[in-house]
Every structure is written in structure tokens, then in C-alpha cells.
Structure 1
Amino acid sequence: MADGSSGRSAMKQSITGYHQDEEGYWVAQLACGHNQHVRHQPPWVNRPWVVTAEGRQGMLGFRLNCVKCEEGAPPDDRPPAGTPG
């Protein structure tokens, strides 16, 4: 497919919080119980909102595609959601 999907409908899940991984990258915690890295690595990945507390706070509730939901994966282990900053 032109959008790079497998043809299945995307499973969109809301961002409920964030934490940082052991390398300092931001990880979005999704309503479904899965985690998803949200990196800003231009020119390949442009998410400038990730680099500021205000940007992350503003994206709470935004819905991301969750591949783990599509695969039927169990919820991820994760620390409690920290403050958005």
C-alpha cells in the first residue's frame, strides 16, 4: 500500500503519559498499555514536540498507530507515567 501499511486498519491509541528509556529517549505510554518511542530525529522522523515539556504535554491524548495492538501483543511493562517534562 502507498502509506506503508499492511492493509489492516490502524489501531490508534491515545498518549496517556511519557517516560524515558535507559538511553534517554522519550517513550509514549498509550491507553492500551503499550509503549512507543517518540523520537525527533530529522530528517527521517520529525517530532519537534518531543524535545520540550510543553510539546509533550500538548500531545497528551493524541492518538498514535499502535502496531503492538494490531499484533495482539500483551501490555508492556513500564514505570508509572511521569510528568510530561
Structure 2
Amino acid sequence: MQQAIIGFHLDDENHWVANLACGHNQHVRHTPPWQNRPWVLTEDGRNEKLGVMLECKLCDDELNN
């Protein structure tokens, strides 16, 4: 299910996590070549992604159970 990004925080290992409108969280790591998200490294980059929709697997799981 698509959910909007409403904020970001760092986890205990200093990896960026998106806060989703549904209340769930999703890691948005920049770990090239697997995940290329250089925007997550700057505050401006993260701010530009507020409101962007991400697939929330936890919401999908809740709907299917």
C-alpha cells in the first residue's frame, strides 16, 4: 500500500528511516550499488522527498491477514 513520507529519523546504527503517514517506518539507505539514494544524505534532499509515496509492506501484510 502506498503511504506518504512525513518525516525522517536516524536509527541506532545511523541509517536514515522514513516516517510514513500510516505510522510505520521504512529504511531509505544510500548503499551503492544496491540502493542509490544520495538525496538521503542531506537535509534539503530529505525535505524534497516529504510527501513522496513509498510502498509500505507492513500495511500490505495487515490487509492480507
More strand by share: 2
Three-state SS of the structure 2 residue aligned to 1:72 is helix
Q: TM-score, normalised by structure 1?
A: 0.72
Aligned to 2:39: 49
Unpaired runs of 5+ residues, structure 1, are 1-10, 74-85
Q: Distance in 2 between matches of 1:68 and 1:48?
A: 25
Question: Structure 1 residue runs of 4+, over 4 Å off?
Answer: none
2:62 to 38, 61, 72: 72
Aligned to 1:34: 24
CA-based RMSD of the aligned residues comes to: 1.1
Aligned residues: 63
Displacement of 1:70:
0.3
Q: TM-score, normalised by structure 2?
A: 0.93
Who wins on radius of gyration, i.e. which is larger? 1
Unpaired runs of 5+ residues, structure 2, are none
More helix by share: 2
Equivalent pairs: percent with the same residue?
59
